[in-house]
Amino acid sequence: MPPRVRVFAPASVSNVGPGFDVLGFALERPGDVVEAEAADEPGVRIVEVAGDGGELSTDPDRNVAGVAARSALSALRGIGAAAPDAGVRLRVHKRMPLASGLGSSAASSVAGALAVNELFGRPLERRALLDHALAGEAVASGSAHADNVAPSLFGGFVLIRTYDPIDVIDLPVPEGLRVAVVHPHCRVETSKARALLHGHPFTIEQAVANLGNLAALVVGLHRKDLDLVGRSIEDRMVEPLRAPLIPGFAAVKAAARRAGALGCSISGSGPSVFALADGDETAARAAAAMVDAFRDAAGLDAESYVGPIDGAGARRIDEP
């Protein structure tokens, strides 16, 4: 058992286009870093939270990384891989914005669960960490949504077929696919964004539009047909309800399209916006255009991330 481990869990884009609650993918950056070390006191303690602007609790029951770590530790005790009085100290380094629509709580949850498993010599399979990470995520969002957690944990483009029982399916990622994500400096609380949908009456026509586009998006990923992937980023259900929560969204989306993006929609519950592109240059151009549009249309500063979809998922980063 190593005395200390350091893990990274990537940010992720969920609610991808027509795939509300079922489709997400991982980003190469940003992401969260969690360190775990063995401790004499039994149970999980959080000894440091950094990069959160003082917003997050160090109470392991109220911090998603702590909840996920406790859940994982309890499982390790259950299979005899950790002693009944085993103790873990966590350091949580937020390296990404909170409430940004980039799966911040999912990344922390995944990192918390992974760190504990790594500290004890990796007794649990990666698949088994999903439940523990979801336990953390549930604290943040009120219920366990897996479309950020699963991509952050496994990497890649991930489909959640159903939650009962959870059925996670990894999708192929076409080689040239690039992502531009822009995070404007404003906030959309996930709970508020979800409340908009709860009990909202959707028509069969809206559902049919999303069903057709989601199925086509999945075909596009399998065929490596980036144009098909792009034109399937079409959401008639959720985006129309949530777009008004994001100042300048229409202008940002139009700017991404003009810059050559294949498709563009809200990342998670916003305010971040993602665009897909068929190469690094177009992705960079789209990101710049979206940042400009947030400033010009809404007076908002924004930062951007450009890169491929992360294929590795959460991982230890202190090993050679």
Catalytic residues: 137, 190
* Residue selected from 5, 9, 11, 22 as contacting a copy of itself according to rule CB under 8 A: 22
* Residue selected from 53, 78, 175, 198 as contacting a copy of itself according to rule CB under 8 A: 198
Strand partners, 89: 37, 45
Does residue 23 bind a copy of itself (CB under 8 A)? yes
Dig out the tokens for 153 from the structure.
């944990």
Amino acid at site 66 = G
Does residue 215 bind a copy of itself (CB under 8 A)? yes
* Residue selected from 54, 161, 175, 320 as contacting a copy of itself according to rule CB under 8 A: 161
DSSP 70: H
Q: Which of residues 168-187 bind a copy of itself (CB under 8 A)?
A: 169, 171
Does residue 207 bind a copy of itself (CB under 8 A)? yes
User: Do residues 6 and 316 make contact, with C-beta atoms less than 8 angstroms apart?
Assistant: yes
Q: How far is the CB of 243 from a copy of itself (least distance, A)?
A: 16
Which residues lie below 8 Å from residue 224, measured CB to CB, with a gap of 6+?
172, 174, 175
Q: How far is the CB of 134 from a copy of itself (least distance, A)?
A: 16
Q: Which of residues 83-122 bind a copy of itself (CB under 8 A)?
A: none
- Rounded to whole angstroms, how far apart are CA atoms 298 and 308? 28
Q: Which stretch binds a copy of itself (CB under 8 A): 49-57, 98-106, 225-233, 264-272?
A: 225-233
User: Do residues 66 and 60 make contact, with C-beta atoms less than 8 angstroms apart?
Assistant: yes
Residue placing its CB nearer to a copy of itself in the complex, 16 or 306: 16
Nearest of 139, 231, 156 to residue 191 by alpha carbon: 139
Task: Specify the DSSP element, H or E, that contains 209.
Answer: helix 204-223
Residues present in the chain in total: 320
Rounded (10°) CA dihedral 66, 71, 77, 80: -120
Does residue 69 bind a copy of itself (CB under 8 A)? no
* Residue selected from 39, 81, 216, 297 as contacting a copy of itself according to rule CB under 8 A: 216
Dig out the tokens for 237 from the structure.
């259900």
Does residue 237 bind a copy of itself (CB under 8 A)? yes
25 burial level (CB within 10 Å; 0-12, 13-18, 19+)? buried
Does residue 202 bind a copy of itself (CB under 8 A)? yes
Does residue 287 bind a copy of itself (CB under 8 A)? no
Binding site for a copy of itself (CB under 8 A): 18-23, 159-162, 167, 169, 171, 197-204, 206-219, 222, 228, 231-232, 234, 237-238
